[in-house]
Structure 1
Amino acid sequence: MRVFKFGGASVKDADGVKNVLAVLEKTGASSLVVVISAMGKTTNAIEKIVEAYLSEADDLNALISDLKKYHSQILEALFENKQHPIFKKIEVLFLDMKTTLDRNKSTRYNYIYDQIVGYGELISTTIVSEYLNHSGYENDWLDARDFIKTDNVYRDAEVNWDETQRIILEKVNKSKLSITQGFIGSDEDNFTTTLGREGSDYTAGIFAYCLNANSVSIWKDVPGILNADPRVFDKTQLLSHISYEEAIELAFYGASVIHPKTIQPLQRKEIPLYVKSFLNPENEGTSVKKGQPLDPHLPCYIVKRNQILLSLSSLDFSFIVEDSISHVFSLLHQYHIKVDLIQNSAISFSVCLDDKFGHFEELLKKLKAKFRVTYNTNVSLFTVRHFTDDAIMSLEKGKEILLKQITRETYQMVSR
C-alpha cells in the first residue's frame, strides 16, 4: 500500500492532470491512495469569495463565475465529449457551494471558511478521478470528510485518530486505486473542517498511518527538499537524505516543502517519506527516514514573512518569572497565535509570532492590562539549521536586525 500526494501546482491545468496520469503509468496505480489539492491558486480564489460574501461585496457572483470558468477550461481540454457526465458533476458542485453560502446563518469567519474552501479539493479530485477513469485507470473517489474525523476547531482541526483509523481501515479498498482530497475532514456533526493551510501533506500522512502504508510520496515542482526556498535564495542544493527529526525541525521553523504535522504519524510507524519532482518522476528526490544523517551536510535556510515581534516588560520593573510567562502562553493558546521564537531576560520577554487567524489586536488588549508592550509588525524571521559563520554573515548583510538567537544547531534572526 502506497500513498501519493499531488499539490495544486501539479494539477493547475489540463497538462498537469495529464501528467498525473503519466506519473501513475511509470509508478503503477494499484494499492494506491492519491491525495490531491485544489487546482492552482483555487484556494486563494475561494478565500476571496468568502471575504466577498462576508463583506457583502458586489463582485461575489463574478468571483464565483471566474473560478467556474477556470475549471471549465481545464475540463474542455481534458474531455472532447461535452456530454461527458463530468461537466454536470462540476456544475452541481458549484451550485452546492452557492447554495451553502445562501443558506448560511453564521457570521463566524472560521466556520464559513471551512464550509466553502474545501470545494476546491472536491472539484479537483472529481476532475482527476473522472479523467483517470476515462483513460482506463478505474478508481474509487473518496470524500475525505467521510474518513477523516476531527474536532470542531475550524481552520485548524485536530484529528480523532481512533475514529479516523477505524473508518479508513473499514472502507478503503487496499488493492485498488483511490482518489481523495487533501486538507479537509469533518466534525462529529458532519460539518466540514480543515487541517490548516497546506494541510494536504498531512492528509497523506493520516491515510498512510491508518493504512500501515509502505511509503508516502509527495510530488512537487522542485527536485525534492532543498536547503533553501529557491524563490527567496539564489543558490540552493538538493538534500538527498534527511531524518524524521531533521524534517520535523525544518517544518517547525517554517520550511514550506512539508506540512509541519505530516512527519509525526509517519515517524510513529517508520513509514518512509519521499519528496519528488512530478516533472521528473524517475529522479530519486529526497528520502526521509529514521536515523539517516543529513546528506549533504550544509546550512539549511528558512524564512517566514509577515511575523510580529512582541516584547513585554512588567509595569513595575519586577522580574518576568514563571507565572508571568505562563499567563502569556495561556493567552497565546487562547487566541491561536503560534510562537516561532522566544527570548527573555530578567525584566523582559520577547516572542516572534505568527498570527494566521488575525487575533493579535484582541491579544494586545489583554496584555496591556498587565505588561508594558512594544511590538513590530511585518517582520521576517530567518532560521539557519547547521549554520556556519559564512552563512550568518551572508544572511545578516544589509539587514536591520531586531533580535537574534543562537543555539547549538540553529541560528535565528528577526529583521525588517
Structure 2
Amino acid sequence: MLVLKFGGTSVANAEAIRQLISVLQEKQNPHMLVVVSAMSKVTDLLISLYQKAAAHDASYLDLLTQLEAKHMDAIEQLVPMSQQIDIKGRIKMIFRELEDICRGVYLLDELSDSTKARVMAYGERLSSAIISVALQHHGLPNTLLDSRDFIVTDSTYLNAKVNLKATYALMQENVPKVALLVAPGFISRSQTGRTTVLGRGGSDYTASLYAAALRADLLEIWSDVDGMYTTDPRKASAAYSIEELSYEEAMELAYFGAKVLFPPTIAPLVAAQIPLVLKNTFNPGHKGTLISSSPAPSAQSVKGISCIDHMAVLTVSGSGMVGVPGVAMRLFKAVAQECINIYFITQSSSEQSITIGLAEAEGEKAVQAISQEFAEDIAQELLNPVSLETPMSIVALVGDGMIRQPGVAGKAFSLLGDHGINIRAIAQGATERIISVVVNSQEAHRAVNLLHDRFFLPVAEPAEVIQA
C-alpha cells in the first residue's frame, strides 16, 4: 500500500489539483490512500472568519462569500458542467453549516476552542470532497473517508493528542479495502464525539497515522519544494535538497524549523519502520528526500542546519541554586502550568544558572510564572531577578555523522567567534547528533550562511606557488 499526502500548495487551485491528478495517474500501486490539506490559505481565512464573527464584524459574511467562490471556481474548472450539480449542492450545504456556526458566534458573543476547531475543520472537508469528485471524473474512481471517523483524540481541541491504540484499531477494522481512498488531513474527533484538529501542519501526521495503521510500504509527502534542504533557502541561497536522512535526523531538523515536515509525523513511521519520501508536486521528476531507518552512508558529518527565529532566552541564576535539589523541577513545573513549550535547555556545571529557550511571544508570561514560583527566593536575594533576552534565534547543526566525530563543535564555535558573532548559550543532545546555539536574531542570517558555507560548500585548495 502507498499513502500520499498533498499539502495546501498542492491543492491550492484547479491547476494544482490537475497536477496532483497527474501524479496519481503515473502511480502503478494497486492500493493507494491520498490525504489532502485544505486549499492554500483557506485555514487562515477560516480563522479570520471566526475572529471577525466574535468581534461583531459583519464582514465575516464577505469572507464566507470569498471562500465559497474559491471552492466553486475549482469545481467549475475540474468537473464537467453536466456533472457539477451534485458536488456544488454538497459544497453549498457545507457552507450553510459554516454560516450557521459563524452567525451563532456573532450573535451569542461566544467562541470556545471547540467552535474554533469545528470552523477550522471545514477547509479539509471541502478540499477532500472536491478532490474526490475531480479524481472520479479523471478516471480515478475512489472512496471518500472522513478522518474524524478514525482518528480518536483527547479534548485539547486545537492541538489534540491522538489515542494511538483506538485510532489504529478503527483504521484496521473499518477503512475500506479499495484501490483508491481519499481522506481529509488535520481533522479528528474526541472521545466525546466533538471535532478536534491536530495542530497546524497536522495533515502530515494524519498521513503517517494511516500509513502506520494500515502497514503501508511507503509514505510520500508532496509539497512545493524538492524535499528537505540543507538549510532554509531563504537564509542561504546555496542550500540544496538532501538525498537521504535517518528518522532521527529528520525529526531534529523538523523540530528546529524545517517547515517541510510536521515534527510528530515521524514517530508512527519509526515504530512501523515505514520509509518516507518528501517530493515536489510541481517537479515530480526530482527524487526528493528519502527518510528511513538506514540511509545510505554519507561523508557529510552535518546533514542540515536549522534556525528558529522569534525566540526568547530566559535565565534563572543565583548562589541559592547551588546544591539545592528541586530548583529545575520547580522552574519546569511553573512553565508547564502555563502550557509553554521549551525548545532549549542548558545549565551551568556550577548549578548557578539554568537557561531555557522559548517562543518570544510567551517570554513575558514565562517570566511572570517563574518569578511567582521563586518570589520568596528572589526576595531573600538567593536568586537574581529572572532575566529575559529578545529577540533571539536558535541555530542547530544536525547529523548522525557528528556522533563520536571530534572537532565539529569546535569548528562551528571558532567560525562564529572569528566573525564576531556572540554565542549566548550552547546545548548538545546526549545522542551527539545535534548541536544548538543561541545567537541574537540580527546575527542569525549571517550565522546560518557562515555555517552552511563551512560544512556544505567545497573548500578551495590554496593555489600552488610556482618557483621562478
**TM-score normalised by L of structure 2:** 0.81
Q: Structure 2: how far apart are the matches of 1:319 and 1:108? A: 47
Q: Residue 374 of structure 1 aligns with which residue?
A: 387
SS of aligned partner of 1:353: strand
Q: Structure 1 counterpart of 2:309, which letter?
A: R
Asked whether 1:255 is paired with 2:258, we answer yes
C-alpha displacement of 1:233: 2.1
Distance change >3 Å, CA 390–CA 185, structure 1 → 2: same
C-alpha displacement of 1:241: 1.2
C-alpha displacement of 1:129: 0.5
Distance change >3 Å, CA 154–CA 61, structure 1 → 2: same
Asked whether 1:385 is paired with 2:398, we answer yes
Q: Do 1:403 and 1:414's aligned partners in 2 also have CA atoms closer than 8 Å?
A: yes
Q: Do 1:243 and 1:293's aligned partners in 2 also have CA atoms closer than 8 Å?
A: no
Q: Structure 1: how far apart are the matches of 2:390 and 2:136? A: 49
How is 1:266-345 mapped onto 2 (pairs within 5 angstroms)? Answer: 266-293=269-296, 295=298, 297=300, 298-313=302-317, 317-319=320-322, 321-345=324-348
**Cα displacement string for residues 128-180 of structure 1 (whole angstroms, at most 9, x for unaligned residues):** 01101122211111111111010111222111112111211122123321111
Distance change >3 Å, CA 55–CA 348, structure 1 → 2: farther
Q: Structure 1 counterpart of 2:387, which letter?
A: T
C-alpha displacement of 1:30: 3.4
**TM-score normalised by L of structure 1:** 0.91
Q: Structure 2 counterpart of 1:383, which letter?
A: A
Distance change >3 Å, CA 307–CA 359, structure 1 → 2: closer
Q: Which moved more, 1:11-20 or 1:396-405?
A: 396-405
- Equivalent of residue 170 in structure 1, options 168, 173, 177: 173
Q: Residue 141 of structure 1 aligns with which residue?
A: 144
SS of aligned partner of 1:128: helix
SS of aligned partner of 1:261: helix
Q: Which moved more, 1:47-56 or 1:370-379?
A: 370-379
Q: Residue 405 of structure 1 aligns with which residue?
A: 426
Asked whether 1:415 is paired with 2:427, we answer no
SS of aligned partner of 1:249: helix
Structure exhibiting the larger radius of gyration computed from Cα positions: 2
- Equivalent of residue 239 in structure 1, options 219, 227, 242: 242
Q: Do 2:423 and 2:437's aligned partners in 1 also have CA atoms closer than 8 Å?
A: no
C-alpha displacement of 1:195: 1.2
Distance change >3 Å, CA 280–CA 393, structure 1 → 2: farther
C-alpha displacement of 1:77: 2.0
SS of aligned partner of 1:16: helix
C-alpha displacement of 1:393: 6.8
Q: Structure 1: how far apart are the matches of 2:325 and 2:64? A: 50
Q: Structure 1 counterpart of 2:311, which letter?
A: Q
Q: Which runs of 5+ in 1 are unaligned?
A: none
SS of aligned partner of 1:69: helix
Q: Number of paired residues? A: 413
Q: Do 1:404 and 1:412's aligned partners in 2 also have CA atoms closer than 8 Å?
A: yes
Q: Structure 1: how far apart are the matches of 2:163 and 2:213? A: 12
Q: Do 1:239 and 1:296's aligned partners in 2 also have CA atoms closer than 8 Å?
A: no
Q: Structure 1 counterpart of 2:307, which letter?
A: V
Q: Residue 92 of structure 2 aligns with which residue?
A: 91
SS of aligned partner of 1:76: helix
C-alpha displacement of 1:225: 1.6
How is 1:345-360 mapped onto 2 (pairs within 5 angstroms)? Answer: 345=348, 346-354=351-359
Q: Structure 2 counterpart of 1:64, which letter?
A: L
Q: Do 1:106 and 1:112's aligned partners in 2 also have CA atoms closer than 8 Å?
A: no
SS of aligned partner of 1:35: strand
**Between Structure 1 and Structure 2, which shows a larger proportion of helix residues?**
2
C-alpha displacement of 1:89: 1.5
Q: Residue 159 of structure 2 aligns with which residue?
A: 156
Q: Do 1:242 and 1:295's aligned partners in 2 also have CA atoms closer than 8 Å?
A: no
Q: Do 1:239 and 1:294's aligned partners in 2 also have CA atoms closer than 8 Å?
A: no
Sequence identity of aligned pairs in percent? 29
Q: Do 1:213 and 1:271's aligned partners in 2 also have CA atoms closer than 8 Å?
A: yes
Distance change >3 Å, CA 85–CA 401, structure 1 → 2: farther
